[in-house]
Amino acid sequence: MSSVDFAIIGGGVAGVSAAAELSALGSVLLFEAEQQLGYHASGRSAAMFLPCYGNAVVRAMNEASADAHEAAGVLSPRRFLVVAPDSKRDAFDADVAELGLTRIGPDDAVDILPILNPDWLADAATLPAWDLDTDLLIQTYRRRALAQGARIETGARVTGIAHGDGGWQITWNSGAARAANVVNAAGAWADTVATMAGLEALRLIPHRRSVAQLAAPGGHDVSDWPFVEEVGEAWYAKPDAGRWLVSPADADPVDPGDAWADDMVLAEGLARYQDAVTEEVTRPLHSWAGLRTFAHDKTLVIGPDPRAPGFWWLAGQGGYGFQTAPAAARHLAERVDGRAPALGAQASTALDPERLVQTAVSG
């Protein structure tokens, strides 16, 4: 039976970025149940880097990830446009103040996105944003991990995790190994993995996010159009290889699994979007859904589980997994290596699993 320093469970962007960071500290074995990396949430991302997205801790992680994304060459500019009808003026003003958005006039917004309905539009604001090449980021981390000796097993569904003899034994559908440390980077299945290891779940909840792919509205060239969102995440839309993606921005709690778009949810979201634009919504060319898994406080869960030595969490990324991946993986490696966290003590405490362990124990 082989032995490694780190067994990482989950081959999305969290697990692969962790493999790249931790393989500089010791031997790594990564398990992905599917036949390819990034199949579930990572493979169904909106693929944007929005520095203003998330709560204060998440935004600090976005900022801490920007240089790494730039160095990896995964970013390309894409304007972020927030729009609002008259009925949402208060919410719009709050977002402008909190997120540092730059107000623009409705006419300027229509210049940026010509399908906006001027009779619906009351307020608009912009902020710089970037498309994020998610496949390139995963492959960059994969190559780095492999170059440092990491072993990556796909089609490897973990079936058992047991603690004993100073470490962990992991069994999967085609083998077994020992590990000094287990890293739970299992996304929507993070609580399932914890339970398998004999730990009480931290109540991380997967939420479905649906997307419809439409033909380019009115035959327009959409390549330079912005990522656009109605304030309050009533819906969002963005270009995608000459087509136009629209999401109802749904966040319905669901069980872990291979997610599928809900037709009614999509229809309701497309109706909200239709109010805001002049071009008639056409039949979707394709639709899909992904899972965004959150802790109750919408902050990532990174660090050691105080109930089990050598069990580490890298989970609860929600919709922030790709944009925070560099900072999240570095933070995990710093905690493992006993280094002072670059994000600072306050952020480290906010990310620590102990906050959720206390909640789980108290009821």
Question: Residue 32 belongs to what H/E stretch?
Answer: strand 28-32
Rounded to whole angstroms, the Cα distance separating 274 from 304 reads 46
Q: Do domains 2-44+134-201+296-362 and 80-127+205-294 have the same CATH topology?
A: no
User: Of 329, 362, 272, 356, which Cα lies nearest the Cα of 24?
Assistant: 329
Q: How far out from the chain centre does Cα 105 lie?
A: 32
Rounded to whole angstroms, the Cα distance separating 202 from 214 reads 38
Length of the chain: 363
Q: Is the dihedral of CA 12, 299, 20, 313 positive or negative?
A: negative
Rounded to whole angstroms, the Cα distance separating 54 from 317 reads 10
Domain 80-127+205-294: which topology?
D-Amino Acid Oxidase; Chain A, domain 2 (3.30.9)
Read off the pLDDT of residues 14-69 as tens digits, 9 standing for 90 and up: 999 999 999 999 999 999 999 888 875 555 677 899 998 899 999 999 999 999 99
Question: Residue 333 belongs to what H/E stretch?
Answer: helix 321-337
The beta-strand segments (E) located in 128-193 are 130-132, 151-154, 158-164, 167-172, 175-184
Q: What is the pLDDT of residue 65?
A: 98
Number of helices (H) and strands (E), helices first, in the chain? Answer: 10, 20
CATH number of 2-44+134-201+296-362: 3.50.50.60
The single residue listed with the structure tokens 């058992």 is: 160
Percentage of residues in the chain having pLDDT higher than 90: 89
CA angle 323, 301, 342 (to 5 degrees): 65
Rounded to whole angstroms, the Cα distance separating 281 from 286 reads 14
Read off the pLDDT of residues 280-328 as tens digits, 9 standing for 90 and up: 999 999 999 999 999 999 999 999 999 999 999 999 999 899 999 999 9
Q: How confident is the model at residue 258 (pLDDT cuts 50, 70, 90)?
A: confident
Q: Say if pTM beats, i.e. exceeds, 0.85.
A: yes
**Pair 157, 123: CB distance under 8 Å:** no
Q: Determine whether 118 is exposed, middle or buried from the number of CB atoms within 10 Å of its CB (0-12, 13-18, 19+).
A: exposed
Q: What is the pLDDT of residue 249?
A: 94
Give the three-state DSSP class for 82. Answer: strand
Strands 205-214 and 175-184: unpaired
Is 198's pLDDT higher than 90? yes
The full set of domain ranges for the chain reads: 2-44+134-201+296-362, 80-127+205-294
**Pair 356, 301: CB distance under 8 Å:** yes
